Copies of this chain bind each other. A is one copy, B any other.
Amino acid sequence: MKNSGAAFRLPASLVKRAVSAALSEDLGEAGDITTDAIVPPDSISEAHIVSRKEGVIAGLELAKSSFEALDPTAEFRAGLVDGERIARGAVVASIKGKTRALLTGERTALNFLGRLSGIASLTARYVEAVSGTKARIACTRKTTPGLRALEKYAVSAGGGVNHRFGLYDAVLVKDNHIAAAGGIGAALGRLFARRGHLVKIEVEVDSLEQLQEVLAFPIDAVLLDNMNAATLREAVKSVGGRTLTEASGGVSLENVREIAETGVDLISIGALTHSAPSLDLGLDWRR
């Protein structure tokens, strides 16, 4: 398989673990009682994964692994790589292998591929909507529990950029942190005292006043929360390139371009991962 269009690679062990958990969930202890009772063990079939809608593909490695886990000799040939656009009705991949493996693995493979492609496809629509501006589209931590790495990967395949992966790899200071610390100075003071030199710091603000306060500190990015386009524009002007600017809150396909044109560096959108509909895919049998 060619190199994916995504910005990072899913560790192979993570792919294997995700597929193994999904198959176990579907097989339980008795396995596929329909297929095992009916289909002869030596029967071989061929099928195509076909896209019933236009979109962007992500998750081919997971689909491939779903079939290979059940039949190590299965041949999975993808006609494109993650991050590529697919037309309605086009073939995503062909699989040839044991009929039992194709029948048993079908749903797991399509569940992964449909969900990740759905996220990549929605991301690509946002990316396209802001094309020509300098704004990049970013995801958030509003991901499906247990699937964050896969969903971040799909956003990346769709042309978006990844925000922090979790609470552990970057600092994002919010209102309630500041309140609990007794003020922005106290909060940031504690952070700068001992954080690692490779950890970035972003601070969330929801007014231009807060923004002024925050700009007194050498932070890496500022999150402009729930501001309208006019306020965002003013904020970007205030910042004057001293730090990265990220707009967040209430973003939709309708207003994303207007937001992008305010000059912000990033626009982060929870819906990319928490509300993207699956890409409609099917398995067409060719015997």
Contact = CB atoms under 8 A, between A and B. Distances in A.
A216 interface: no
A148 interface: yes
User: Which among A37, A173, A191, A194 has the greatest number of chain B C-beta atoms within 10 A?
Assistant: A37
Nearest to A106: B176
A39 B180 contact: yes
A32 to B, nearest CB: 4
**Range for the number of chain A residues in contact with chain B:** 35 or more
User: Which among A70, A194, A199 has the greatest number of chain B C-beta atoms within 10 A?
Assistant: A199
A208 B169 CA distance: 31
A195 B27 contact: no
Interface string A11-45: 11110001011111111111111111111110101
A278 B111 contact: no
Contact of A7 (B107, B143, B194): B194
Contact of A148 (B29, B39, B221): B29
A238 to B, nearest CB: 19
A99 interface: yes
Interface in A93-113: 99, 102-104, 107-108, 110-112
Interface string A181-209: 10000110011011111111010000000
A24 B110 CA distance: 26
Nearest to A118: B275
Contacts of A99: 176, 180
Nearest to A198: B170
A168 B31 contact: yes
Nearest to A109: B145
A141 interface: yes
B221 A198 contact: yes
Interface stretch (A84-92, A159-167, A228-236, A251-259): A159-167
A266 interface: yes
B26 A141 contact: yes
A111 B27 contact: no
A165 B107 contact: no
Interface of A: 3, 7-14, 18, 20-41, 43, 45, 69-70, 99, 102-104, 107-108, 110-112, 114-115, 118, 136, 138, 141-149, 152, 156, 161-181, 186-187, 190-191, 193-200, 202, 220-221, 244, 246, 265-266, 271, 274-275, 277-278, 285, 287
14 contacts: A30-B162, A34-B167, A34-B172, A38-B191, A115-B144, A115-B145, A118-B275, A138-B196, A138-B197, A142-B278, A164-B196, A169-B199, A170-B199, A274-B278
Going nearest first, the 5 A-B pairs with the smallest beta carbon separation are A28-B168, A275-B277, A22-B145, A29-B149, A170-B198
